[in-house]
C-alpha cells in the first residue's frame, strides 16, 4: 500500500484569508484529462506553471480533493470523459479568492499517487488505483506535494502511519521502487522490451508477496507508469519510515553477452567495479531524461555523506544485499558474486538502508525473454523477498512483530519466506 498519508484538514483557509477580492491567481489550469480504466486511471491537469498543491482522499462518500494554491480554473470540466473510470463526477470551486479546489467523486475507495511533471509544459498527474475494500477504511488520507517536482514536505506526524496490528508490534516496512517510468523508459532491450515495464511488474509482485506476509508492509514508490525523480523516490521511502528500500532494475549493458542478477549499495568511496560505475551513471541519468533539474544534487550528497548514521545504514544495506544476492543465486546466474557499490543517487539516504537490485539485463536477448515472462518475474520477486526475510528474521528492528517472534524463539527454518518458496507452482 502506498502510505504517504497524513491527516489534513484546512490550513489553506488561514493562508488565503487576507487576500483582497478580485485578486488574480498566478497560474491557471489550462486543461483537464482523464485516461485509463476503472482499475487504473490518470487525471492530468495541464498547468500554466508550477503550483503548490495538496491532495486528500476522504470517505463517506469517497472523494479525492485536490487543492491548488494561487491557481485559476480555465478548463471545462463538463468536457472530461468519465465513463468507465473510477471517477463519477468532477467539480471545482474557488477558495480564498485565488485557490482552486477540485473534488472528484469516486466510485469506491481509491489510492492516489501524484507528481508534478515538468518535461512537456507543467502537468499535475494523479494516478488513481481502486483500493481493496477494508484496507485503510475510514481514514482521511493525504498526499502532500509542493511546487518542485521533488517531494519537499516532510510530514513529522507520520508515526501514526505504522501499523498497530500484530498486538501493538509494528510491521517491518519495505519500500519498493520500480525504476524509471513515464517519460523515462529505462533500458530498452531485445524485442523493444522496456525496463520500466519489467521492473514495475516485478515490484508489484514483490509488494503482493510482502503484503501477504504477517509482520511486513509494502510501500510502492510508483504503482503505474509514472515518472518520479530519484530524490522523490528516496523521500517517499523515508516518509513511509521504511526499514529498507529496494530499487528494482533490469538494465542494458554495451556488452550484449552480459547476463545475470546483481545487487548494489551506495558507495562513498567510488565504485567497486567498472560495471557498477557504468550502471550508477546510467541510472543517475533518469532525472535528466524525465526533465528534472539536477541542481543541488552534489550538495545533497555532501550532506548525506557527512552524516554519521550513513555508516550504519550502508552496513545494513550491504548485509541485506548479501542475503538477496544469495537467494537470487537460486534462480539466476549472478553477474557479480558480491554486493557492488557505486554512487547511485536513488540510494543516497542517510537513514534508510537501500539496495538496488539488477534483476537481469534486457540487452541480452535470452535474458530479455525471461524477464518479460510473468512466471520469471514472480520467481525474481520471491527470491528478493526470501533474502530480505532472512535478514529481517535474524535482525528484526525493535518493536516489530518479527522481533516478538524472535523473542518467542520461533525456529528460523519455519520463516515466512520458506512457506512462500514452497508455495511456488
In sequence order, the 6+-apart residues with CB closer than 8 A to the CB of 227 are 115, 117, 119, 180, 181, 182, 183, 184, 290
Q: How far is the CB of 189 from Zn ion (least distance, A)?
A: 11
Identify which of residues 179 and 181 has a Cβ nearer to Zn ion in the complex: 179
Binding span for Zn ion by CB under 5 A among 8-16, 184-192, 378-386, 390-398: 184-192
Q: How far is the CB of 179 from Zn ion (least distance, A)?
A: 4
Identify which of residues 221 and 393 has a Cβ nearer to Zn ion in the complex: 221
Map residues 185-214 to x or -, x wherever contact with Zn ion holds by CB under 5 A: -x----------------------------
Identify which of residues 217 and 233 has a Cβ nearer to Zn ion in the complex: 233
Size of the site for Zn ion (CB under 5 A): 4
Look up cell 528534472; give the residue.
292
Q: How far is the CB of 318 from Zn ion (least distance, A)?
A: 20
Binding span for Zn ion by CB under 5 A among 117-125, 135-143, 176-184, 306-314: 176-184
Q: How far is the CB of 323 from Zn ion (least distance, A)?
A: 22
* C-alpha cell, 187: 533500458
Give CA 371 to chain center in angstroms: 21
Q: How far is the CB of 356 from Zn ion (least distance, A)?
A: 8
Rounded to whole angstroms, how far apart are CA atoms 110 and 338? 41
Identify which of residues 356 and 383 has a Cβ nearer to Zn ion in the complex: 356
Identify which of residues 251 and 340 has a Cβ nearer to Zn ion in the complex: 251
Say if CB 269 and CB 311 are below 8 A apart: no
* C-alpha cell, 275: 560495471
Identify which of residues 45 and 347 has a Cβ nearer to Zn ion in the complex: 347
Tell me how far apart the terminal alpha carbons of the chain are, to the nearest angstrom. Answer: 25
Q: How far is the CB of 402 from Zn ion (least distance, A)?
A: 30
Identify which of residues 68 and 279 has a Cβ nearer to Zn ion in the complex: 279
Residue 48, class by beta-carbon neighbours within 10 Å (0-12 exposed, 13-18 middle, 19+ buried)?
middle
Binding span for Zn ion by CB under 5 A among 14-22, 165-173, 181-189, 264-272: 181-189
Rounded to whole angstroms, how far apart are CA atoms 82 and 59? 20
Binding span for Zn ion by CB under 5 A among 151-159, 179-187, 224-232, 330-338: 179-187
Among residues 280, 282, 279, which one has the least CA distance to residue 268? 280
At 23 the three-state DSSP class reads: coil
Rounded to whole angstroms, how far apart are CA atoms 273 and 277? 6
182 binds Zn ion (CB under 5 A): no
Map residues 214-253 to x or -, x wherever contact with Zn ion holds by CB under 5 A: -----------------------------------x-x--
For 54, 124, 294, the CA distances from 146, given in Å and listed in that order, are 8, 11, 17
Q: Which backbone phi and psi does 176 adopt, to 5 degrees?
A: -115, 125
Q: How far is the CB of 340 from Zn ion (least distance, A)?
A: 14
Rounded to whole angstroms, how far apart are CA atoms 354 and 310? 11
Q: How far is the CB of 344 from Zn ion (least distance, A)?
A: 10
Identify which of residues 310 and 357 has a Cβ nearer to Zn ion in the complex: 357
Identify which of residues 164 and 288 has a Cβ nearer to Zn ion in the complex: 288
Q: Could you say which of 104, 112, 143, 179 contacts Zn ion (CB under 5 A)?
A: 179
Say if CB 347 and CB 317 are below 8 A apart: yes
Q: What is the dihedral of CA 248, 4, 111, 320, to 10 degrees?
A: 30
* C-alpha cell, 379: 520467481
Residues that bind Zn ion (CB under 5 A): 179, 186, 249, 251
Amino acid at each position: 500500500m502506498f502510505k504517504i498519508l497524513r491527516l489534513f484538514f484546512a490550513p489553506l483557509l488561514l493562508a488565503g484569508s487576507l487576500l483582497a477580492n478580485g485578486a488574480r491567481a498566478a497560474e491557471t489550469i489550462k486543461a483537464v484529462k482523464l485516461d485509463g480504466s476503472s482499475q487504473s486511471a490518470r487525471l492530468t491537469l495541464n498547468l500554466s506553471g508550477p503550483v503548490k498543491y495538496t491532495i486528500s482522499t476522504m470517505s463517506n462518500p469517497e472523494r479525492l480533493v485536490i487543492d491548488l494554491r494561487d491557481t485559476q480554473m480555465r478548463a471545462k470540466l463538463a468536457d472530461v470523459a468519465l465513463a468507465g473510470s473510477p471517477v463519477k463526477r468532477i467539480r471545482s470551486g474557488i477558495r480564498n479568492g485565488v485557490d482552486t479546489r477540485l473534488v472528484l467523486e469516486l466510485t469506491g475507495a481509491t489510492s492516489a499517487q501524484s507528481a508534478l511533471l515538468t518535461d512537456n509544459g507543467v502537468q499535475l498527474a494523479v494516478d488513481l488505483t481502486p483500493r481493496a475494500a477494508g484496507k485503510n477504511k475510514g481514514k482521511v488520507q493525504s498526499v502532500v506535494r509542493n511546487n518542485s517536482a521533488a517531494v519537499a514536505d516532510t510530514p513529522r506526524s507520520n508515526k501514526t502511519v505504522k501499523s498497530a496490528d500484530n498486538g501493538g508490534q509494528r510491521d517491518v516496512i519495505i519500500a519498493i521502487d520500480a525504476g524509471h517510468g513515464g517519460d523515462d523508459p529505462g533500458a530498452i532491450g531485445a524485442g523493444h522490451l522496456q525496463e520500466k515495464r519489467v521492473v514495475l511488474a516485478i515490484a508489484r509482485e514483490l509488494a503482493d508477496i510482502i503484503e501477504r506476509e504477517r509482520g511486513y508492509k509494502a510501500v510502492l514508490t510508483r504503482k503505474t507508469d509514472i515518472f518520479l525523480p530519484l530524490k522523490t523516490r528516496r523521500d517517499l521511502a523515508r516518509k513511509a519510515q521504511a526499514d529498507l528500500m529496494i530499487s528494482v532494475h533490469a538494465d542494458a549493458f554495451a556488452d550484449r553477452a552480459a547476463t545475470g542478477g546483481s545487487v548494489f549499495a551506495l558507495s562513498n568511496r567510488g565504485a567497486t567495479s567498472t560495471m557498477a560505475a557504468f550502471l550508477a551513471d546510467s541510472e543517475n541519468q533518469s532525472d535528466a531524461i524525465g526533465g528534472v533539474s539536477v541542481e543541488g544534487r552534489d550538495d545533497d550528497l555532501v550532506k548525506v555523506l557527512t552524516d554519521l548514521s550513513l555508516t550504519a545504514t550502508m552496513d545494513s544495506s550491504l548485509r541485506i544485499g548479501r542475503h538477496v544476492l544469495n537467494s537470487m543465486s537460486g534462480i539466476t546466474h549472478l553477474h557479480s558474486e558480491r554486493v557492488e557499490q557505486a554512487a547511485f543517487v536513488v540510494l543516497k539516504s542517510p537513514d534508510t538502508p537501500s539496495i538496488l537490485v539488477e534483476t537481469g539485463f534486457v540487452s541480452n536477448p535470452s535474458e530479455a525473454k525471461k524477464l518479460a515472462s510473468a512466471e520469471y518475474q514472480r520467481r525474481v520477486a520471491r527470491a528478493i523477498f526470501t533474502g530480505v526475510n532472512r535478514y529481517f528474521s535474524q535482525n528484526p528492528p525493535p518493536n516489530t512483530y518479527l522481533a516478538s517472534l524472535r523473542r518467542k524463539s520461533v525456529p528460523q527454518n519455519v520463516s515466512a519466506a520458506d512457506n512462500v518458496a514452497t508455495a511456488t507452482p
